[in-house]
Structure formats: C-alpha cells, structure tokens
Amino acid sequence: MIFVNIGLVLVVAAFAISLLRVVLGPSLADRAVAVDVCFFSVVAVFALLAARNELAAFADAVLIASLVGFLATVSLARLVSRGRR
C-alpha cells in the first residue's frame, strides 16, 4: 500500500509540474503537450485509486479516458494550426 501511496504523490507532483508548463508555455502547442501530460497523470490517478481502494469501477473510467483522451489533443492541434490542416 505504501508504494501505491508513493506513486500517487509522484503522479500528483507530475500533474502540478506540467500545469506549470501550461501556465508558462509560450505557444499554444506547448500548452497542448502539457495538457496531454496532465491528462495522462489523471488516468494514472484513476488506476492507482482503483488499486488502492479495490474499486473495480475505476477501471471503466481508465478505459474510457484512454480511448477518448487523444481527441482533446487532436482538436487542440486544429486550434494551433488555426483551422488549417
């Protein structure tokens, strides 16, 4: 259990660090990449909570999140290129 707790702390730290890049990051593409890492860490938090509290329902959330997660990045990429492909 202690290892899962350490993992949770590390992943939340990763979320905070990449949020810093979202705030700083000069271009929109930087922000899109950083939001991608934020999303990855949210998925990781779901999985860790599922393992920690024996909540099998979180597995569904992880599955759906990893399916639709890249759609946000793709639509942000459309914004970065200002509508042009």
Partner 1 sequence: MTPIAQVLVCVGALLIALAAVGVLRLPDVYLRMHAATKAASLGIAFILSGAAILLDDGVASVKLFVAIVFQFATAPVAAHVIGRAAYKGGVNLWKDNRYDELEGAATEPDDPVTL
**Binding site residues, partner 1, CB under 8 A:** 3-4, 6-8, 10-11, 13-15, 17-18, 20-21, 27-30, 32-34, 36-37, 40-41, 43-44, 47-48, 50-51, 54, 56, 59-60, 62-63, 65-67, 69-70, 73-74, 76-78, 80-82, 84-85
Nearest approach in angstroms of CB 28 to partner 1 is 8
Cβ within 8 Å of residue 49, ≥6 positions away: 8, 55, 58
User: Minimum distance between the CB of residue 1 and partner 1, rounded to whole angstroms?
Assistant: 8
Asked whether the CA dihedral 32, 33, 36, 37 is positive or negative, the reply is negative
Residue 61 CB, nearest distance to partner 1 (Å)? 10
Q: Evaluate whether 77 touches 32 at the Cβ level (below 8 Å).
A: yes
What is the rounded distance in angstroms from the CA atom of residue 39 to the CA atom of residue 60? 16
